[in-house]
Amino acid sequence: MCPTPPLAKVFATDREVAVMKACFAEIGGVLTVNRVPSEGTIISGIVPPKAFHRF
Whether residue 5 is contained in a domain is answered as no
Q: What is the mean pLDDT of each run of 10 residues along the chain (55 residues)?
A: 63 82 92 87 88 70
pLDDT of res. 50: 86
Sequence-ordered strand ranges (E) for 1-55: 30-36, 40-46
Whether residue 2 is contained in a domain is answered as no
Whether residue 30 is contained in a domain is answered as yes
Q: What residue numbers bound the domain in which 39 lies?
A: 14-54
pTM above 0.85, yes or no: no
Domain count, the chain: 1
Euclidean distance between CA atoms 55 and 20, whole angstroms: 18
Whether residue 23 is contained in a domain is answered as yes
Q: What share of the chain is helix, strand, coil (3-state, %, to 5)?
A: 35, 25, 40
pLDDT of res. 55: 55
pLDDT of res. 39: 84
The dihedrals phi and psi of 49, each to the nearest 5 degrees, come to -55, -35
Whether residue 7 is contained in a domain is answered as no
What single-letter DSSP state applies at residue 52?
Answer: G
Whether residue 33 is contained in a domain is answered as yes
